[in-house]
Structure 1
């Protein structure tokens, strides 16, 4: 019996089950998928090259037809490890397999991410070029996103994440270009920019336009609300009118207003991180933000999947419901579980002496992953456990036809000897 890595939710925690090496995939391809792919695209809009990186899901195989939602991360080279830490710990139950894209803002950052031109900022002259957010949005929509879509297996379900000026850019994208992304995370956004120009525009649009199907998560780092006065707290900050609290007051004002606009359909939440600074708040925000944005993705009644007493008919009904939820949100037919979990539940039920349930999960994995050698191999192991070598050989042969791996050939030979 081989062992699998598989994530199960057990009343709010994740159960780790043993795990095999990925013997069923081509080694060179596996290494390629796990590596971060760097690229650069020349932008006619920006008149310059723009660097980016792409991280494909661990389960990606070129022969499969599965397509993935995409996360676009502004300041992608500085926040890459932060997003990767969250994603690698929460995919499975909390998050689907997704393609991650990090966009460089290392040069011309202020120009690209700010929403209007200013000459002064917090009492000092602004030497940087400003106000290029609309141009940078055009680059994303008309150049980078089409490039990613043409070169990687994507669906149009996209999430945008930005911090500070990029948080300002993120909210501007939602307010003025909501068709590009479904989800938005604005981390400590600079809504004080240009005397709260975007904040004022956002309040008008949030009250009059529809944002049905869109989600936004906003954070505020509140460890240092005022550079000089320790007595400034969340309880009294809105009474202060100084330039030093304008940043935080702008986020609070926007968030309270957005939360009150129930009629526009925006799925909105925000959180104050009392123990975080501007530089530390991206990590907890991305974690909480992604869990909020993908709350619909989490399993319904997870305990029933883990309970041996749950009838198979009820499991089938739950899986059908989950499939409908995923398909509705992603806009394309979507399996009710990622392939690792379908396989994992199959092996779990084999170990618990519930072969009928095991067969159901393995069969479903083949249905949704018909080009996966691993799915057929798992079904072969099921038949071996039932002493049905004829069917086991049939599924092993299919796995060998798909992959050409010697591992399957050896398994076929060994089973034939039996």
Structure 2
């Protein structure tokens, strides 16, 4: 009965008109034998000041059916609270994550499980050489570009950071898969050192070789570099670390002058620059 009454009222008043909900732009690009989405979501006030230039966050696994809307939603929530600066959000879709995000492995079990893995260097060259220039030419970007990834994408982030590239201003590696290839990346950094831009890195309940690799890397981080290590083994799982820690990662990489954040519990729960602060 209620639905019938509502239908009559709508018919009398005129039903509301619906229109497409446009949240951004998307393009398709090809690398490693696969077409993939490049999704761009602009700040809501992007058109207010045509002279203003914006930082860019590049999110790996950023397809429409991947982590794009999770990342944008968290970023918008941060922005509304003044927790992190507004950005142009770029989601890079992945298709074969082990192939695209990880280097070759000597581990026979990993080779058998992921036979296509090992082309992260080619994927990185495509990202830096083709996609970043395309974004910079199309949108009003600043010179700040940040790379964000979780799990295998987190390994890609650390591997990129370790190259010392100037393509990115900062990095966030959430629960990076540093068990890969017998923990070779953390061994390499521990033995040879690495110095790059700002780095946010976290550890959840992964344990085992993943934990060993992450802790080895953190121990090797230089004191004179801007880094933030969030040790969340007691309260986060690998499955929910991205949801739980992306707000803090963005707060670290894109700080604002807001002086009310601590009052509302928006704090960085991490050791910074080896200070041991919580």
Q: TM-score, normalised by structure 2?
A: 0.78
Which residue in the other structure is 1:54 paired with? 40
Please say if residues 175 and 205 of structure 1, whose CA atoms lie closer than 8 Å, have aligned partners that are also in contact.
no
For the residues of structure 2 that align with 1:121 and 1:155, how far apart are their CA atoms? Answer: 43
Please say if residues 221 and 278 of structure 1, whose CA atoms lie closer than 8 Å, have aligned partners that are also in contact.
yes
Please say if residues 53 and 103 of structure 1, whose CA atoms lie closer than 8 Å, have aligned partners that are also in contact.
yes
1:211-231 deviation line (CA, Å, top 9, x unaligned): 3xx211111112x63xxxxxx
Pick from 218, 226, 248 the counterpart of residue 267 of structure 1.
Answer: 226
For the residues of structure 2 that align with 1:144 and 1:278, how far apart are their CA atoms? Answer: 29
Please say if residues 147 and 157 of structure 2, whose CA atoms lie closer than 8 Å, have aligned partners that are also in contact.
yes
Please say if residues 118 and 131 of structure 1, whose CA atoms lie closer than 8 Å, have aligned partners that are also in contact.
no
Secondary structure, aligned partner of 1:219:
strand
Which residue in the other structure is 1:166 paired with? 153
For the residues of structure 1 that align with 2:177 and 2:89, how far apart are their CA atoms? Answer: 24
Which residue in the other structure is 1:126 paired with? 113
Q: For residue 291 of structure 1, report the CA deviation from its aligned partner.
A: 1.1
**5 Å matches for 1:322-333?**
none
Please say if residues 43 and 88 of structure 2, whose CA atoms lie closer than 8 Å, have aligned partners that are also in contact.
yes
Please say if residues 114 and 131 of structure 1, whose CA atoms lie closer than 8 Å, have aligned partners that are also in contact.
yes
How many residues align? The count is 238
Which residue in the other structure is 2:68 paired with? 80
Aligned-residue CA RMSD in angstroms? 2.3
Gaps of 5+ in 1: 1-30, 226-244, 304-418
Pick from 96, 112, 129 the counterpart of residue 142 of structure 1.
Answer: 129
Q: TM-score, normalised by structure 1?
A: 0.53
Which residue in the other structure is 1:219 paired with? 202
For the residues of structure 1 that align with 2:102 and 2:253, how far apart are their CA atoms? Answer: 25
Please say if residues 115 and 198 of structure 1, whose CA atoms lie closer than 8 Å, have aligned partners that are also in contact.
no
Question: In 2 relative to 1, CA 48–81 (structure 1 residues): closer, same or farther, beyond 3 Å?
Answer: closer
Q: For residue 198 of structure 1, report the CA deviation from its aligned partner.
A: 0.8
Larger Rg computed on CA atoms: 1
For the residues of structure 2 that align with 1:130 and 1:187, how far apart are their CA atoms? Answer: 20
Pick from 71, 78, 82 the counterpart of residue 90 of structure 1.
Answer: 78
Pick from 223, 234, 239 the counterpart of residue 279 of structure 1.
Answer: 239
Secondary structure, aligned partner of 2:248:
helix
Q: For residue 112 of structure 1, report the CA deviation from its aligned partner.
A: 0.9
Q: For residue 292 of structure 1, report the CA deviation from its aligned partner.
A: 1.7
Please say if residues 189 and 220 of structure 2, whose CA atoms lie closer than 8 Å, have aligned partners that are also in contact.
no
Which residue in the other structure is 1:292 paired with? 252
Please say if residues 168 and 190 of structure 1, whose CA atoms lie closer than 8 Å, have aligned partners that are also in contact.
yes
| Residue 152 (str. 1) matches residue 135 (str. 2) | no
Which residue in the other structure is 1:14 paired with? none
Which residue in the other structure is 1:99 paired with? 88
Secondary structure, aligned partner of 2:181:
helix
Q: For residue 119 of structure 1, report the CA deviation from its aligned partner.
A: 5.5
Q: For residue 53 of structure 1, report the CA deviation from its aligned partner.
A: 0.6
Gaps of 5+ in 2: 1-19, 262-278
Q: For residue 68 of structure 1, report the CA deviation from its aligned partner.
A: 0.6
| Residue 248 (str. 1) matches residue 211 (str. 2) | yes
Please say if residues 158 and 183 of structure 1, whose CA atoms lie closer than 8 Å, have aligned partners that are also in contact.
yes
Q: For residue 96 of structure 1, report the CA deviation from its aligned partner.
A: 1.7
